[in-house]
Amino acid sequence: MDNSTQGPLVARGMGRTMAHLWMILGVIIVAFPVYYVFIASTHSVQTILRPPLPLLPGSDAYENYRGAFSGEINRIGGVSLWRLLGNTTLIAVGIAVGKIVISMASAYAIVFFKFPFRMACFWLIFITLMLPVEVRIQPTYKVMVDLGLIDTYAGLILPLIASATATLLFRQFFMTIPDELLEAARVDGAGPWRFFKDILWPLSLTNVAAIFVIQFIYGWTQYLWPLLVTNSNEMNTIVIALKKMVSFADADTPWNLVMVTSVLAILPPILVVVLMQRWFVKGLVETEK
Amino acid sequence: MAHIQLNDLRKSYAGQEVIHGITMDISNGEFVVIVGPSGCGKSTLLRMVAGLEGISAGTISIGDRVVNDLEPRERDIAMVFQNYALYPHMSVRENMAYGLKIAKMPVAEIDARVAKAATMLELEPYLDRKPRALSGGQRQRVAMGRALVREPAAFLLDEPLSNLDAKLRVQMRLQIKELHQRTGQTTLYVTHDQVEAMTLADRLIVMNKGVADQIATPHEVYMTPASEFVAGFIGSPAMNIFTVRAEAGVAVLPGGQRLPLPGLPASGEVRLGLRPEDMELVEGDTPSIPVVLKSVEWLGADAFGYGVIEGSDVLMTLRLPGNTLAKRGDRLHVAAAQGRIHLFSPETGKRL
Ligand SMILES: Nc1ncnc2c1ncn2[C@@H]1O[C@H](COP(=O)(O)OP(=O)(O)OP(=O)(O)O)[C@@H](O)[C@H]1O
Ligand SMILES: [Mg+2]
């Protein structure tokens, strides 16, 4: 695409050069640690522990990754890498989908239905924004224990899926839908469910994609809650496992495997972002409806 | 197709009544235009018929059913909205077919109806486009098509042409008229444009602040406006209306001139209405109204003179022939054409 048609601001001459330098600098700052992790995952423990770490990939990549997948992680953490990736994916997808379902449903009710205490409901949801997971962690934990949900996927997912942020985003979006569209659908014979399914949902897709990406990453990187609510290694997420792997004395830590695990922990969120990037950006910037 | 009956229909918002009891029978196939200034309750009335707005009192029946408590979809109506309200993610075809699909009509029949409407509205080339890839006029036709394919008992349109430019508006107006003649649908049409109202309507409802001041054919509304409001609203340029004092069959004009007028009450004040196009220039020695011109607008075929009645500051608009030589400062004598005098009560505004 031609740069000059992209935005209202077109940088020229020095300005353009500066802008590019600035962006390249930003990319380096953000990407370098990630690159370093990848480099480290291709060297042996000995190389990693003997500074300085080389800046180019080493020759142990195959060895490290094969090892990680075929039981080395299992030997250290008591759970296979596959299981960890599976757990984390399930939780991240569960949280993202759950959040979307719950927040769309509540936003739909608040925007399109007149019922008593509608605004009260809205404000109730709104003030939970001020109560992050950490604040309500003790009562939530108690509830999970009472319900016998410790060490279950339900226990990992359910407490995290209520989302005031997503509800607000959907509410804002639903409010941009012209009343007449709803009225046209009513005249055409669409009930509340059909209106949602045939009209609101297709129009929301880009928003859904954006929220999915954000919440998937939120779910993928959860640390505190999974740490509390799981005891068995079998239920660990990849982030927890990573933490457990480095809690040995430095010399004993299998740094090469830690780096492999780190790369594998970073990869799925990147994949999700890249795959959904076009929709994601559209959902964030789209104004025309 | 069906007749529609409105019976003492009222609407209040939070205790404030905005529609004050409208009663009307619309016969099958009739084209009724609801016209009036902004905020007079036109849309509210239409939306009550559509079922999009609750009814505070009175009844609406469509066909032989009282529909007060029915959902829009159960009323067998179709509606065209001012901003078209097309489903942005559906193609033109899907937009038109949506209502039929919900009604679980067989696909073959849906296709046939969409094809028929598309032909009628010259939309065939655009059937697979999304609304965003259409011009305003095309979108408007899609909105019409979406209503047409339903073959409803009644057709409701709320200012369907107000988002189009002047030329397209004339075109679409003719097209709507032709469509109505072809389909014979009972139609309720809201507009604030009196040209649309006069040209399309079999009958007009002229609304004034939630009251139907007059329900009649365009001809009657123009010839015998039922109230001063209707007289001032219909007709362009607007009717000249001013107060005169009646004295034994003679009207005393604001400038003190005396003009014999038929139909005057014995005494008291009365509002006199004279359309610019209903006045003719006369010699000064016949009974007439002397007007001092302030300006003349020449339009080609004819001209409009704006002035005041001599000796007063009551404004008068006159329609002058295109070849007029009248200019600012001239004094013209005009008299109302035979039978083209309108008298209204100063208290109630009703026609006398
Ligand atoms: N939801 C509402 N709550 C309170 N008052 C309302 C509501 N909707 C309309 N009104 C009032 O009812 C009156 C009639 O409104 P309506 O929309 O029918 O006017 P209209 O004749 O269609 O005007 P326009 O030509 O500008 O569209 C207005 O005075 C308006 O303020
Ligand atoms: Mg309106």
Asked whether the beta carbons of B187 and B160 are under 8 A apart, the reply is no
Helix (H) or strand (E) holding B84: none
* Largest Cα–Cα separation, chain B: 78
Query: Does the domain spanning B240-344 belong to CATH 2.40.40.20?
Result: no
CA of B47 to the centre of ligand 2 (A): 9
Distance CA A128, CA A122 (A): 10
Report the half-sphere exposure of A100 (CA within 13 A, side-chain side). 21
Helix (H) or strand (E) holding B306: strand B302-309
Q: Write the ipTM.
A: 0.83
Question: Are B52 and A185 within 8 A, CB to CB?
Answer: no
Question: Are A189 and B73 within 8 A, CB to CB?
Answer: yes
Q: Residue B20's beta-bridge partner residues?
A: B10
Q: What is the DSSP letter of B235?
A: S
Q: Decide: residue A185, CB within 10 A, 0-12 exposed, 13-18 middle, 19+ buried.
A: buried
**Which candidate, A28, A73, A26, A22, places its Cα nearest to that of A55?**
A28
Closest ligand 1 atom to residue B46 Cα is 18
Q: Give the domain ranges of chain A.
A: 86-285
Record the pTM: 0.81
Domains B4-233 and B240-344 share a fold: no
Q: Residue B158's beta-bridge partner residues?
A: B190
**Considering CB atoms only, which of A183, A190, A203 is closest to B102?**
A190
- C-alpha dist (Å) from residue B131 to B37, B134, B137, B166: 31, 5, 11, 21
Q: Which residue owns the Cα nearest ligand 1 atom 6?
A: B13
Q: Which residue owns the Cα nearest ligand 1 atom 9?
A: B44
Fold of A86-285: MetI-like fold (1.10.3720)
CATH number listed for the domain at residues B4-233: 3.40.50.300
Closest ligand 1 atom to residue B192 Cα is 25
Instruction: Specify the long-range contacts of residues A50-53, CB closer than 8 Å, at least 24 apart.
Output: none
Q: Residue B281's beta-bridge partner residues?
A: B334
Q: Which residue owns the Cα nearest ligand 1 atom 8?
A: B44
**Residue-level pLDDT, tens digit, chain B, 352 residues:** 688 999 999 999 988 999 999 999 999 999 999 999 999 999 999 999 999 999 999 999 998 889 999 999 889 999 999 889 999 999 999 999 999 999 999 999 999 999 999 998 889 999 999 998 898 889 999 999 999 898 898 999 999 988 888 888 898 899 899 989 988 889 999 998 889 999 999 999 999 999 999 999 999 999 999 999 999 999 888 999 999 999 888 889 998 888 888 888 888 899 999 999 999 888 878 888 999 999 999 888 889 999 999 989 999 999 998 888 888 989 999 998 888 899 999 999 899 8
Question: Mutate which of A187, A200, A203, A282 to disrupt the B interface (most B C-beta within 10 Å)?
Answer: A187
**Which candidate, B285, B294, B304, places its Cα nearest to that of B330?**
B294
Distance CA B297, CA B304 (A): 5
* Residue carrying structure tokens 């009192």: B57
Closest ligand 1 atom to residue B45 Cα is 18
Peptide bond into A51 cis (omega under 30): no
Q: Give the domain ranges of chain B.
A: 4-233, 240-344
Asked whether the beta carbons of A233 and A79 are under 8 A apart, the reply is yes
Phi, psi for B17 (deg, rounded to 5): -80, 130
Question: Are A180 and B82 within 8 A, CB to CB?
Answer: yes
Sign of torsion over alpha carbons B324, B325, B327, B331: negative
* Largest Cα–Cα separation, chain A: 74
